Amino acid sequence: MALDPPTPTSPEPILSPATIAVTAGRPAHVPDAPLNTPITMASTYVAGGDLEYGRYGNPTWTALEEAIGALEGGRCLTFSSGLAAVSTVLDLVGNGAKVVAPRGAYNGTIMQLADLESRGRIRAELVDITDTEAVVAACDDAALVWLESPTNPGLELADIPTIRAAAHEAGAYVVVDNTFATPLLQTPLADDVDLVVHSATKFLAGHSDVLLGAICTRDDELFAVLKGRRDLLGAVPGTLEAWLVLRGLRTLHLRVERAQANAQELVRRLGEHPAVGEVRYPGFGAIVSIVLAQGAMAADLLTHKTKLWVHATSLGGVESTFERRRRWKTESATVPEGLVRLSVGVEDVEDLWNDLRVALDGCVG
């Protein structure tokens, strides 16, 4: 009896990031299965499986890690906060080794580098990330090159492919903090960087109600090392926090699309206001920095004169927030005194502009 030829299998469709954000990390589509991954509140598991104990894993973490990893194009580990993720990466740097990082970067990262250097653990070289030639030169004896693109709060862009190539030639690992861009606007792992870090507290969660960090990589060996460090040091996410970030992730594409559209319109109008001496915007994303023409006093005045815009230090939520960054004593001296970082939300852009314009009118010298 003749056998029928095998039916060719169709390749898996390549999904857009918007679809991945909605579908990744879901339970299997079987009868009576929940659409959403449940919150698994467990510190102890029956012996004989892979979990064993609550510090080693949780089904709710796993669902979130599958979703973030799918968006970034790698494997993901989640942590108790963005800074916990940062410290886990920096912990891998050998004693006395050099770390290259932007001189104007996230304050928490710079403070961790300064703390490690003060204790003789590492050598930190802070560079102008826009000076690609200088960054490449700094890579020569580095163990780790830390990039932000855009930087926080200066919104400077790094030439990631060129710097990555130079760092790898020198034998250094490359990390990109992708918090501002999100994997919807930039996927550094596709440029062959080694690690991507997120403060998932910000855009990924998107509702100003959770602390959580994430690290993504395509390197299975590096993943195993990082997993081992998380297991040992215990910087694990809370189960409820992981569930909240996963829920927030489902609307990431909608939030980023709306917030970015608002930001681009505000950038156009801010550039024409006499109180604004400089507008910094990389051309994408929902973070805008402005430098007030009258300096620090005008910037402080602005952040206390609005009704819709909220004076707050975090970012990436559905609500619009802003702050003068140099009010923090540990902020980089490269940040202008009059710089105000705006995290543009999803409100009506006309309402946002009217509120901001009235406050800016009071800052004209």
Q: What is the pLDDT of residue 344?
A: 98
Return the percentage of the chain with pLDDT > 70, whole number: 97
Average pLDDT over the chain reads 96
Distance from C-alpha of 113 to C-alpha of 107, rounded to nearest angstrom: 10
97-102 and 276-280 strand pairing: unpaired
Q: What is the pLDDT of residue 206?
A: 98
Full set of structural domains in the chain with CATH: 17-27+49-249 (3.40.640.10), 252-361 (3.90.1150.10)
Tally of residues, the chain: 365
Active site residue ranges:
55, 106, 177, 202
Q: How confident is the model at residue 1 (pLDDT cuts 50, 70, 90)?
A: very low
Q: How confident is the model at residue 13 (pLDDT cuts 50, 70, 90)?
A: confident
pLDDT reading at 286 higher than 80 = yes
CB atoms within 10 A of CB 283: 10
The stretch 316-344 carries a mean pLDDT of 94
User: Dihedrals φ, ψ of 40, to 5°?
Assistant: -100, 100
**Amino acid identity, position 79:** F
**Amino acid identity, position 302:** L
Distance from C-alpha of 201 to C-alpha of 209, rounded to nearest angstrom: 8
pLDDT reading at 8 higher than 70 = no
Indicate the helix (H) or strand (E) that contains 77.
strand 75-79
pTM, full prediction? 0.95
Q: What is the pLDDT of residues 145-173, one digit of tens each?
A: 999 999 999 999 999 999 999 999 999 99
pLDDT reading at 3 higher than 70 = no
- Of 186-195, 287-296, 325-334, which range is least confident? 325-334
